[in-house]
Structure 1
Amino acid sequence: MNVNVLLNELFTVNSLKKILTNKNYTTFQKTAHKIVEINNGMTNFEILSAIYKFMSKKHRNEYFYKNTLFNKILLGQHSVNTTTAIRELPVAGNILDFLIVNGSGQVYEIKTELDNLKRLEGQINAYYKAFSFCNIVTNEDDIEGTMSHVSRPEVGIIVLTKRNTLHVEREPVKYDGGLEYEAMFKILRKYEFEDILKTHFGELPKANSFEYYTVCFDMFKKIEITLAQSYMLKQLKKRYTITKNQVHEFNKVPMELKSLVYFSEYKKRDFEQLNHFLYKTDMEA
C-alpha cells in the first residue's frame, strides 16, 4: 500500500482506537516498516515519532495541519481549561476543518499542499454565516494562489512554513455581516438550543413533536443575532473538555498524538492503554 495512504489511515481517531482496544496494529506496523529503520529496543513511541517526523517533511496532510494548529494555538496560546477545539463541524452545507472557541470562535480552513482551491471562496462565505473570524491555513508556496481565491479582506491568512512554524501573513478582522440564524441553529444539538432558549426566554415552547423544531427555531430567531451567536459559542465551548482530573495525564500525551487524544474524549482507562502501547518495545502489544 502507498505510504501516503498509510499515513492518512494511521493518524485517525479510529485507527488509534483499534490499536488500543482491539490490539490491531496492522496499519501501524505497515507504516513503520516502510518508513522507519527499526532497531531492537525501540519503543512504539520512538517509532511513531519517527513516522511523524517523516510526515512533517514528506507528507504534510490534513492531520498534520490540524495537529500543528492544536499544539501551537490551543495549547501554545490558550489552555484546554479555558478553550475548546472542534474539528469537522458541518456549517451551511460545508465541513469546517478546525474551530477554536474561547471568547470568540476562530475558524481555520486548511488548504494543504495536497488540496485544490476551487471551493475556497464558497467555504469561507458559508463559515461567515455562523462565525465572525475566519482564517485560511496554507503553505509557503500557495500564499498568492490562496489570496487570489478569496476576495474578502477580513479573512486571515496563516502560513505553515517549511520549518513547521505558523506565520500570520494577515490578521483576521471581525465580520458579522454574513451571520444567519439558520446556519447557527443547525449547528446546535437539541439539548444545546433548548438550553439557549431556556436561558434567554426562561421557558421552552409548547408544541407537538412534529412542530417542535420549527417552533424552537422561530424562538431562536427572536434573539438579536450577535447575541444568538454568543449563546451558540458558549454551547460549542462545552463540547470537548479535559477535566481537572485528566489534565496531568493529557499533558503526558506526546505532541504527535495530542489532537487525536483530545477528540477521542479519553477516560482514565484509555490513558492507561495509550501509555502501555507507547512504551512497549519491539512493536509489541
Structure 2
Amino acid sequence: MQITPTYDKSQLRELASMVSHAAFKKLSSSSNQSSYIRRMKKYVGWNDMAGDKPAQLGDLIAHSYQILEQNYRHEYIYKNKLLNDYVLKQYLLDDTILLNEFRIGQSIADAVLVNGTNKVFEIKTELDTPERLESQLNDYYKAFTEVYLFTHISLLDKYIRILPSYVGVLVYTEKGEVLEHRAALNNKEYLDASFMMASLRKPEYSKLVKQLVGFIPEATPVFYYRACLEILEELPVEEVQMMYCHILKSRIDRQTNLYLSQGDVPSYVNFSFYQAKYNKNSYLTMINNLSKNLLL
C-alpha cells in the first residue's frame, strides 16, 4: 500500500488524535465504532487512496500509524516506540513497570521505568520545544537517579548542547530504531524523600513508612501526611529511594502482561493497552473492533 505524502498539518493533527491512548481506550469500551471509522477514513484520505484499501479497522489504523511515523511523530508514537523497541527488548515485564505521565514535583515525566534500576524518560518530539526542560530534569532527580532524553536524531545536536553530561540520550533514528546515544549516569545527589512521598498514593506511602521502620505513625488524618514525611526525612535518602522503587514495582499488572505477551494486540496499540490494564471484556472488545470489516 503506497503512502502519499500530501497530508497537511490539520489532517495530521486530527489523525494523531485518533492514534492515541485516549482513542484506543475507547476501542476497548464499545462495539459501535462507526463515528471513529468515518473520521479515520476522512483524515486518511480514504476516497483518494490508490490500490487496495485496508480491509479491516486494524489495517486502517496501521496505515494511519505509518503515515504519522513518516510525517507527524507525536508523543504517542514515541511512547509506543519506547515500549516496543526499548523496554520489551531489554527487560522482562514480570519484573518491570513502565509508568505513564508520572508526576514528580511540579513536572510530569512522560515515562518512568522501574525494575532493578530506575529510569525517567523525557520525550521531546519534533513538535516540542526545550522550554521547561531544565526544571523538569531538576524535579526528576529528586525521585530517580537515571534520566534519559528521548528525541529524534535530527534534534540530537540541539539537545546535546544544553543537557548536563549525566543525562542519558535515546535517539529515534531515520530508520525507526531506538538507539542509546549515551548512557545516563547514576546521580543520587538530588534525591529528596518529600518528592518521592508526594508522588505516591496514601496506601503506598503508608506502606513505604511501615516497610522502613516497622510501624506507621499515630496521627489524626490532617496531620498524618506530615507525620509520615517526618519519619522518612530522618532516614538515609538512598534507603528511602530503594524502598520507594520497590513500592512502585508493586503496580505491575500481571494479567495485562499476559495479554501483551500473547501477541494478539497489534504493536501499534501496545503502549495504550499496557497502560489501560484491560480486563477480559475490554480485551475482547478491542480485538473484535480491530477486526471490523471496512469493505462490506
TM-score calculated relative to the size of structure 1:
0.92
Q: Which aligned pairs between 1:106-255 and structure 2 lie closer than 5 A?
A: 106-150=119-163, 152-243=164-255, 246-247=258-259, 250-255=262-267
CA distance, structure 2, for counterparts of residue 279 and residue 153 of structure 1: 47
Does the Cα contact within 8 Å between 1:161 and 1:167 map onto a contact in 2? yes
Structure 2: state its 5+ residue gaps. Answer: 1-8
1:132 is paired with a residue of what secondary structure? Answer: coil
Equivalent position to 1:16, from 10, 24, 42: 24
Does the Cα contact within 8 Å between 1:96 and 1:127 map onto a contact in 2? yes
Does the Cα contact within 8 Å between 2:21 and 2:76 map onto a contact in 1? no
Q: CA RMSD in A?
A: 2.1
Does the Cα contact within 8 Å between 1:41 and 1:281 map onto a contact in 2? no
From the superposition, tell whether residues 7 and 222 of structure 1 become closer, same or farther in structure 2 (CA, over 3 Å): farther
Give 1:28 shift. 4.4
Structure 1: state its 5+ residue gaps. Answer: none
Shifted more, 23-32 versus 137-146: the winner is 23-32
Aligned to 2:3: none
| Sequence identity percentage | 25
Give 1:102 shift. 1.0
Per-residue displacement from partner, 1:253-284 (whole Å, max 9, x unpaired)?
11000010011111111111111111121178
Aligned to 1:3: 11
Does the Cα contact within 8 Å between 2:107 and 2:139 map onto a contact in 1? yes
From the superposition, tell whether residues 16 and 221 of structure 1 become closer, same or farther in structure 2 (CA, over 3 Å): same
TM-score calculated relative to the size of structure 2:
0.89
CA distance, structure 2, for counterparts of residue 263 and residue 283 of structure 1: 31
The letter for the 1-side match of 2:67 is F
Equivalent position to 2:74, from 53, 61, 65: 61
Per-residue displacement from partner, 1:213-271 (whole Å, max 9, x unpaired)?
10011111122101111111111112241338834675321100001001111111111
Runs in 1 of length 4+ with deviation above 6 angstroms? none
- Aligned residue pairs total 283
From the superposition, tell whether residues 28 and 219 of structure 1 become closer, same or farther in structure 2 (CA, over 3 Å): farther
